[in-house]
Structure 1
Amino acid sequence: MASSRVPPPPSPLPPRPNLAFRRLRGPRSPAEFAAAVRRSAREIGERVSCDARYVGRVEAGEIRCPNYAYERVFLHMFPGRTLTDLGFAPRSSVRGRGARAAGDTPLAHLTSPARNPIETQEACEPYDTQDPYDTHEHHENREESDVLRRVFMRSGTVTVAAGSLAPQGFPIGAMTAGRPARRPGASEAGAVEEAVRRIRLLDDRHGADGLYRRAAAPLRTAYALLDAGVTRQSIADRLHSGAGELAISVGWLAHDSGRFDDARSHYAEALATARTTGDDALEAHAFCNAAFLARDAGRPREAVRAAQAAQRAARPLGSARLMSLLALREAGGWAGLADRAGCEQALVRAQVLYERGPSDADPEWMSFYGEAELEGLEAQCWSALGDWPRAARHARRAARLQDPHFTRNIALYTAELADDLARGGHPDEAAAAGVRVLELLDQVQSSRIRTMLAGTARVLLPHRRAAEVSAFLERHASLPRTAA
C-alpha cells in the first residue's frame, strides 16, 4: 500500500554570493560600508538601519532584492547602475507567490514567519526578530553561524595598503604593498594587538574626535589579514581576537565623538567576530560597550539587556573586576529607566565585586577601570535618577582619584561634576568646575564632554549675572566649532 505521507519539498538551494556588491564595497570593512550607506540615505531623506551584518547578508546572497528604501539609497550611491548591476535579482522574480519557485522558500519560513526575512516582501532589516542580547544556545543556531562566517571569513580579496597599521604611529608589522607578502603570522598578529593598545593610549590622553577616522585604516587591515588566510590556529585566534578588539576600539572612538550609528555598527562587527570563534572574552567586551552606547543613545532597556548578556558571557572568565564593570553598565540602564531599586542593587553588586580585587583573569582592555571609574559611573547613575547632591559627591571623588595619565577621564568626571552642581543649585561651584574642563580641552577632543558642557551652560544661563558664571559662559561661547 502506498504511503499517505506527502513527500517533503526539495531542499532549498544555497544562496548565491553577490560578488558584484562585494566588489563595490572594495577595501572598506562591512561596518565602514554600512556607515557609508547610512550617510547616503540621509543625503536623500531616507532612513535605513544598515549595519555590518546587513552588508554581510547582501554579499552572502541572502537578500536577493532590497526593499524600496535600500534600492533608492544604492542607486544614489552608484549612479548609472541598475539593481542587476549591483548583483540583485529582478524584483519581479522575488515578488509574489506566483513568481517564486517551490524550492525558493524553506518550509520553516512558512511555519515561522516571525523569523523569516521574507524576501518576497522585501524585508531587508539588518537583524531578525531574535533578541541579540540572549546568549542562550537555541539562538546560537547554524544559520546565524553561517551568515557571520560568510561576513567575516570569506568576504573576498581586500587590498592591504602598505603601512595601513601605521597612521599616526600605529605599527606596520611585516606588511608590503598590495597583498601580504606571505600568510599572516605572529608579527602581523602582534601588529594588530599593538594598534589596539596605541589607540587606547591616545584616547586616554586626547579623546576620540581626532582619532576616529585615522583608526579606520588599521581596522581594514586587520580584517584583510583574516581574509588572507592563516595556517596556524594559534595565530588565527590572535588575529580574530585582535580584529574584534580593534573594532571595539574604533567603535568607542565613534561613540565618544557622537557617531552613535557608526559605533553600533562597529560593536556589532566585534560581536559577530566573537560569536564565529566562540570568544567569550571578546563577546563580553562587545556587549559591555553596546550597553554603554545604548544608555548614551537613550535606549536604557537595551542597555540593561546588553549588560546582562555581557555578564552571561563573562561569568566563565573568572574576573571579578570585569563583572563589577558589567554590573555598573546594568546599573546605568536601570537608572535610565528610573528604576531606583534595580539601579541600587546593581551598584551594590558592582562594589562587592570590585572589592574582591584584581586578578590575572582581568582583561587587558580594563586598565582604565579603577576606583575613579567606579565613582564616575556611579555618579552618572545618580545623575540619571536626579539625585544631584549624591551624583556630585561621587563625581568629585572620581576626578580627585583619577590617575593624571587619563586626561580625558579627568575632563569627563569634572564635566559631570559641573553639570551635577549646576542642576543641584550651586551655580558658582558649577562654573568653577566648568572652567577647569575648558582648560583641559586644549589636550582633549571629545564631543561627549563638549555636549555635557553645553548642557551645563544652558542650565547656568539664568545665573549669568554672577561673575564666575559669566566668565565660564563667555569662555564656553568662545570655544571653536569642531567638524563632525
Structure 2
Amino acid sequence: MSKFSALIASDHRYGGQITIEAQASALAGEALALQARGGASQRVRGALYACAASFTSSAMWAAIDGRRFDEAQHYFDRASSLAAMSGDPAIQFRIWSHASSLYRHLGRPADALAANDVARNLPVTRRDPMFASLGHARHAAIYGLTGNATAVRRVLAHAQEALDRADPQEHRPVWLNAFYDQAELESLALAANLSLGNFEQAEAHAHRSLALLRPHMHRTRAITTARLAHAQLGQGDVEPAIATAMSIPADVFTRHPRVTRMLGNFGIKLHAAAPSSSLTCTWDQYAHDSRRNKA
C-alpha cells in the first residue's frame, strides 16, 4: 500500500513520465511473482491480482498522460484481465474509467462512452456515490467531444448531485481519495465546455477548479491552467490568455507531453486570432526560450 501511495503521489507531481510507467509495471510484476509461488488462499490470491491490476492501471494512466497510446492499450488489456481475476469492482472501475479517457484522447468518443458505461454500471457506483459522480463527470467530458450540450448539462448535474451525497468518511481506495473531489469535477466540466466552445462557462469552471485544487496536484494545476488560457483566448482576451499560459512553470511546459501539446495548440490558435500582435511575438519568444532551455 505504501508503494502504491508513493506512486500515486509521484503521478500527481510529475505525471506522464516513462519512469512512472516503468516503476508501476515493475511493481505489478512483483505482485504477480508472489501470486505465482502458489499455496495462497483464494482471498490472498484475489488481493494479489487486485494489487497487480492497480499497478498496471497506474502504468496505463502514465502512458495515457504521456500520450504513449499504444503502450496504454497494452496495459489496458493486461489490467482488465487481472482485475477480472481479482473480483475487485473498485479496481475494475478505475481501469474501465481509464480506458474511457484513453479513447477520449484518441478522439474516439463512441468507444469512450462505451468504456465509461462499463465503469458506470459496476456495482460499486450504486454502493458509493463518489464512484457514480466520477463516472458521470467523465461522461460529460466525452459528450463535450460529440457536441451534445444537453447531455453535458444533464450528466454534470448528476455528477454534482452524487458528489454532494457522498459520505466524506467512507473508506475508499487511495487512488480515488488522491484526486477526485469538487476540483476534479470542475476540471472535467471545464474540459466539456471547452470542447463545446462555451468559453465563458469553461473559464468559470477553470477558476473554481484552480481555487479548490489541493497543493500536491501539480500536474492537474498545469493542465487546468492551460485549458483556462484556451478559454480566455476563445473569448478574444489575448493578453490575459498569454499571461495565463506563461504562468505555467517552464519545466512542466516542456516536460509534460499533454501540457506541451496543449500549449502548442494554444500557439496555433493565438496566431490565428492575432497574427500581427506584439503579444503573439512575446508568446513565440517565450515558447522558443522554454524549448531551448530544455535542450
Which one of the candidate residues 223, 226, 241 is aligned to 1:415?
226
How many angstroms apart in 2 are the aligned matches of 1:434 and 1:230?
56
How many angstroms apart in 2 are the aligned matches of 1:296 and 1:449?
13
- 1:305, CA displacement in angstroms? 1.3
Letter in 2 for 1:204: H
1:65-91: CA deviation from partner (whole Å, max 9, x where unpaired): xxxxxxxxxxxxxxxxxxxxxxxxxxx
Note if 1:249 corresponds to 2:58.
yes
Q: Percent of aligned pairs with the same residue? A: 26
Which one of the candidate residues 364, 370, 395 is aligned to 2:181?
370
1:237/1:377 CA distance change after superposition, 3 Å: same
- 1:317, CA displacement in angstroms? 5.8
**Structure 2 residue aligned with 1:471:** 282
How many angstroms apart in 2 are the aligned matches of 1:228 and 1:445?
40
Higher relative contact order (CA 8 A, sep 6+): 2
- 1:219, CA displacement in angstroms? 2.6
Describe how 1:201-216 pairs up with structure 2 within 5 A. 201-209=9-17, 210-216=19-25
Task: Give the structure with higher Rg (CA).
Answer: 1
TM-score, length-scaled by structure 1: 0.56
CA RMSD in angstroms, aligned pairs only: 2.2
Which one of the candidate residues 264, 276, 279 is aligned to 1:454?
264
**Structure 2 residue aligned with 1:311:** 120
SS of aligned partner of 2:216: coil
How many angstroms apart in 2 are the aligned matches of 1:467 and 1:397?
31
Note if 1:302 corresponds to 2:114.
no
**Structure 1 residue aligned with 2:157:** 348
1:207/1:319 CA distance change after superposition, 3 Å: same
- 1:279, CA displacement in angstroms? 1.9
Letter in 2 for 1:364: V
1:157-180: CA deviation from partner (whole Å, max 9, x where unpaired): xxxxxxxxxxxxxxxxxxxxxxxx
- 1:222, CA displacement in angstroms? 2.4
Describe how 1:150-161 pairs up with structure 2 within 5 A. none
Letter in 1 for 2:147: A
Describe how 1:90-101 pairs up with structure 2 within 5 A. none
1:347/1:230 CA distance change after superposition, 3 Å: farther
How many angstroms apart in 2 are the aligned matches of 1:430 and 1:424?
9
Which one of the candidate residues 43, 47, 64 is aligned to 1:234?
43
- Count, aligned residues: 290
- 1:435, CA displacement in angstroms? 0.4
Describe how 1:80-229 pairs up with structure 2 within 5 A. 193-209=1-17, 210-229=19-38
CA contact (8 A) 2:124 2:131 kept: no
Describe how 1:1-150 pairs up with structure 2 within 5 A. none
CA contact (8 A) 1:212 1:250 kept: yes
Letter in 2 for 1:231: A
SS of aligned partner of 1:425: coil
**Structure 2 residue aligned with 1:424:** 235
How many angstroms apart in 2 are the aligned matches of 1:482 and 1:441?
12
1:481/1:330 CA distance change after superposition, 3 Å: farther
- 1:337, CA displacement in angstroms? 1.5
Letter in 2 for 1:329: R
**Structure 2 residue aligned with 1:399:** 210
How many angstroms apart in 2 are the aligned matches of 1:470 and 1:412?
23
How many angstroms apart in 2 are the aligned matches of 1:241 and 1:347?
30
How many angstroms apart in 1 are the aligned matches of 2:180 and 2:285?
35
Describe how 1:276-287 pairs up with structure 2 within 5 A. 276-287=85-96
- 1:291, CA displacement in angstroms? 0.8
Note if 1:360 corresponds to 2:170.
yes
Letter in 1 for 2:271: L
CA contact (8 A) 1:317 1:361 kept: no
**Structure 2 residue aligned with 1:84:** none
1:398/1:232 CA distance change after superposition, 3 Å: same
1:249/1:317 CA distance change after superposition, 3 Å: farther
**Structure 1 residue aligned with 2:138:** 329
Describe how 1:379-390 pairs up with structure 2 within 5 A. 379-390=190-201
CA contact (8 A) 1:324 1:354 kept: yes
5+ residue gaps, structure 2, are: none
1:380-430: CA deviation from partner (whole Å, max 9, x where unpaired): 000111111111211122122211211111111101101121223111111
1:214/1:326 CA distance change after superposition, 3 Å: same
How many angstroms apart in 2 are the aligned matches of 1:200 and 1:216?
13
- 1:467, CA displacement in angstroms? 4.3
TM-score, length-scaled by structure 2: 0.90
**Structure 2 residue aligned with 1:93:** none
- 1:289, CA displacement in angstroms? 0.8
1:481/1:250 CA distance change after superposition, 3 Å: farther
How many angstroms apart in 1 are the aligned matches of 2:108 and 2:6?
31
CA contact (8 A) 1:207 1:445 kept: no
How many angstroms apart in 1 are the aligned matches of 2:270 and 2:142?
27
- 1:464, CA displacement in angstroms? 5.4
